[in-house]
Amino acid sequence: MQNDLTGTHLIKRYLNTLTSGPGVYRMLDLNHKPLYVGKAKNLRNRVSSYSQYKGHSLRIQRMIHATCSMMFLSTKNETEALLLEHNLIKQLKPKYNILLRDDKSFPYIFISTEHDFPRIEKYRGKKSKPGRYYGPFANVLAVNRTLETLQKVFLLRSCTDREVAAGNRLCLNYHLKRCSGPCGGKINKAEYAKLVEDANDFLTGKSKMIQEKLGRQMMLASKAMNFELAASLRDRIQAITKIHPLQGINPEKVTEADIFALNLESGQACVQIYFIRANQNWGNKAYYPKVDIDMSHSEVLEAFLGQFYLNREPARILILSHTIANKELMKNLLTQKLGRRVQIFIPEKGEKRDLVLDALRNAKESLAHKMAESATQIKLLEAMVKAFGLKEFPKRIEVYDNSHIQGTHPVGAMIVSGTEGFLRPEYRIFNVRLDEIDNKDDVAMMKHVLARRFRFNEKITKQNHQDNYPDLILLDGGKGQLSAVSSLLADFGLGTIPVVAIAKGPNRNSGKERIFLKDKSGLEIEQNDPLRYFIQRLRDEAHRFVIGAHRKKRSRALSRTKLDDIDGLGSVRKNSLLMKFGSTKEVSRASIDELSTAPGISKNLANKIHDYFADGN
């Protein structure tokens, strides 16, 4: 919508056309970019509150003044409006909303129900596979710690289905007393099922019962003078007892809860989350949502909860450090999402209060640490402005690196850093397309990666340039990379972006890197200058990231077989053939009838596979 009116005058124009029912409104700037997304029980009343500057904070007054158009969506009820509001905030990332900047999924422990000898494994993503899911765990460390205990105590396998199906060789974990040996036929299906049930009991809060059961078995083994078995059971009991102190607070009365504690200070926020499942603390995680200095605890916490649970299942109980304005509405939304009743508590005493206070203490410590890191980061960025002769403070730095082995499996990577450190959600991998490159050298690969990143687009506006493009580019390379990338950016009309190249020192020694700037021969930075360490850290993070991507690509290439070249043969059927025949060579020797006996292989597909190998492949 194009309109010469802005601010309160514009907003007043909308009031006569608005419904008095629930809905969501969007405030847009001159370039139609979202400034704010909000929900309302009564759209007309809510929007009318913006028709004057009086009574609003300076932040909201600026937002009203910048509003050049608005959009509205009516909903059936206020709960639907709340859900739509949080979806739009996550999608559009408006400037004046509270934003949750990290929405990664949490890891679970997964035990399949499809296999005779279920594998215990770490799992992240949609719960699409049939089996038992335990979680969420706040971080990978908490999952790995629990998995290690489960392997020691319940001896569940971590080896592949293929190794178990072969059944001809015991894995290393069996010899380390971390597996019961289904891969070597050391345990039958019924006995293994008992171990799985014991693991399930442990993960659902019956660890004391499991300890008592193992204790009785240890006493019987000792009386029967089977001291090797008794010692093994003793070690398994000790493994259970050791995990509880590592988990921190383990409540007695709170079986399942998500705990949220918010600390606000100087316009910055930290939300500390604890996951309590089966009376066990399954880890904690700190979030730092984007807030403004005039925002209240209630406003921040409510917005955070709405965005946090968009793609996650809530616990049956939420325990909060501060009250929220729309508590009943949030309960209805989460109850609807979970399919069973969700309760929200702001406790004042008892065990729930102790849990919140512990989380709040961690939130305060985490925010203090974060603010100290940010202050250090800003000092380093200020030093970078002076050293590189930058015109403005670099809020976004992009660092690029390539990795390959003699030109094979080439990969490029971009990492991003800002005033708050590394912005990992914005990292990006580029598969280098060798068919698009004339000279297959490092300079050409770097230019190819930057061309992919900044490929010219007529729809890119100046505003998008400022929001999405870096204030500084660092390249892992020398004068060749610097010259090629500078020329490329100039062709794209982005020649004003500063570019710096970091060349490895003599004998690739860390600490003796040479730094090159456009129109300069080189830059000298003292050996013990913190800026040098900062630049090295940025370069090393890009190197770590690209090396990991290169190894994954190389690993995938090494695992490819001739079966991957057969049309209509997907990964599931390919694995079915390999499980049946053991190798691609044996598949190539099999007859059509033999191929048809593999699960998922039809007669027509068996004919196609047989013909493929008969043609000399």
Residue 60: CB atoms within 10 Å: 17
Length, in residues, of the chain: 617
| Stated pTM of the model | 0.71
Structure tokens at 439: 């000279």
Q: Maximum CA pair distance of the chain?
A: 93
Contacts of 580 (CB under 8 A, 6+ apart): 597, 598, 599
Structure tokens at 528: 């013990």
Q: Is residue 491 scored above 50 in pLDDT?
A: yes
Mean pLDDT of all residues in 160-170: 73
Q: What confidence score (pLDDT) does residue 456 get? A: 52
- % residues pLDDT > 90 (the chain): 32
Nearest to 500, CA basis, from 536, 528, 529, 526: 536
Calpha distance 529→509 (Å, rounded): 17
Starting at the earlier edge strand, list the strands of the sheet with 131-134. Answer: 120-123, 108-112, 131-134
Residue 531: CB atoms within 10 Å: 19
Q: Is residue 581 scored above 90 in pLDDT?
A: no
User: 102 pLDDT band (50/70/90 cuts)?
Assistant: confident
Backbone dihedral region for residue 175 (phi beyond 0: left; psi -120 to 50: alpha; all else: beta): alpha
Q: What confidence score (pLDDT) does residue 174 get? A: 81
User: 492 pLDDT band (50/70/90 cuts)?
Assistant: confident
- 205: phi then psi, degrees, rounded to nearest 5: 95, 10
Q: Exposed (0-12), middle (13-18) or buried (19+): which is 24, by Cβ within 10 Å? A: buried
Q: What confidence score (pLDDT) does residue 459 get? A: 42
Q: CA torsion angle for 107, 112, 118, 122 (degrees, to 10)?
A: -10
Fold of 396-556: Nucleotidyltransferase; domain 5 (3.30.420)
Contacts of 439 (CB under 8 A, 6+ apart): none
∠ CA 232-236-238, nearest 5°, is 115
Its sign, for the CA torsion 319, 321, 323, 329, is negative
Which amino acid, residue 134?
Y
Its sign, for the CA torsion 228, 229, 232, 237, is negative
DSSP reduced 3-state for 415: strand
DSSP reduced 3-state for 238: helix
What radius of gyration, in Å, describes the C-alpha atoms of the chain?
30
User: 466 pLDDT band (50/70/90 cuts)?
Assistant: very low
Calpha distance 154→150 (Å, rounded): 5
User: 47 pLDDT band (50/70/90 cuts)?
Assistant: very high
Structure tokens at 74: 């009516």
Better pLDDT: 514 or 263: 263
- % residues pLDDT > 70 (the chain): 91
Residue entry with tokens 């799985």: 196
- E strand or H helix at 463, and its extent? helix 462-468
**Where in the chain are all domains bearing CATH 3.40.1440.10?**
7-92
Q: What confidence score (pLDDT) does residue 340 get? A: 92
Indicate the CATH number for domain 562-614. Answer: 1.10.150.20
User: 397 pLDDT band (50/70/90 cuts)?
Assistant: very high
DSSP reduced 3-state for 2: coil
Calpha distance 420→328 (Å, rounded): 35
Q: What confidence score (pLDDT) does residue 319 get? A: 96
Q: What confidence score (pLDDT) does residue 465 get? A: 40
**Where in the chain are all domains bearing CATH 3.30.420.340?**
257-368, 396-556
- E strand or H helix at 361, and its extent? helix 350-388
Calpha distance 248→280 (Å, rounded): 9
Nearest to 532, CA basis, from 417, 419, 387: 387
Q: CA torsion angle for 87, 92, 93, 98 (degrees, to 10)?
A: -40
Better pLDDT: 573 or 190: 190
Mean pLDDT of all residues in 167-184: 79
Nearest to 410, CA basis, from 377, 449, 374: 449
Q: What confidence score (pLDDT) does residue 36 get? A: 95
Half-sphere exposure of 583 (CA within 13 A, CB side): 3
Which amino acid, residue 268?
Q
Which of the residue ranges 69-78, 261-270, 372-381 would you say has the lowest mean pLDDT? 372-381
Q: What confidence score (pLDDT) does residue 617 get? A: 61
Q: What confidence score (pLDDT) does residue 61 get? A: 93
Helix, strand counts (H, E) of the chain: 21, 18
Tell me the β-bridge partners of 416.
Answer: 398
Calpha distance 259→281 (Å, rounded): 10
Q: Kindly report the CATH class assigned to 257-368.
A: alpha beta
**Where in the chain are all domains bearing CATH 1.10.150.20?**
562-614
Nearest to 105, CA basis, from 125, 133, 129, 128: 125
Q: Is residue 63 scored above 90 in pLDDT?
A: yes
User: 346 pLDDT band (50/70/90 cuts)?
Assistant: very high
Measured CA distances, 149 to 179, 244, 262, 549 (Å): 12, 11, 32, 30
Q: What confidence score (pLDDT) does residue 71 get? A: 94
Query: Mapped to the 3 state alphabet, what secondary structure does 12-56 carry?
Result: HHHHHHCCCCCEEEEEECCCCCEEEEEEECCHHHHHHCCCCCCCC
Which of the residue ranges 390-399, 483-492, 515-524, 534-543 would you say has the lowest mean pLDDT? 515-524
Indicate the CATH number for domain 7-92. Answer: 3.40.1440.10
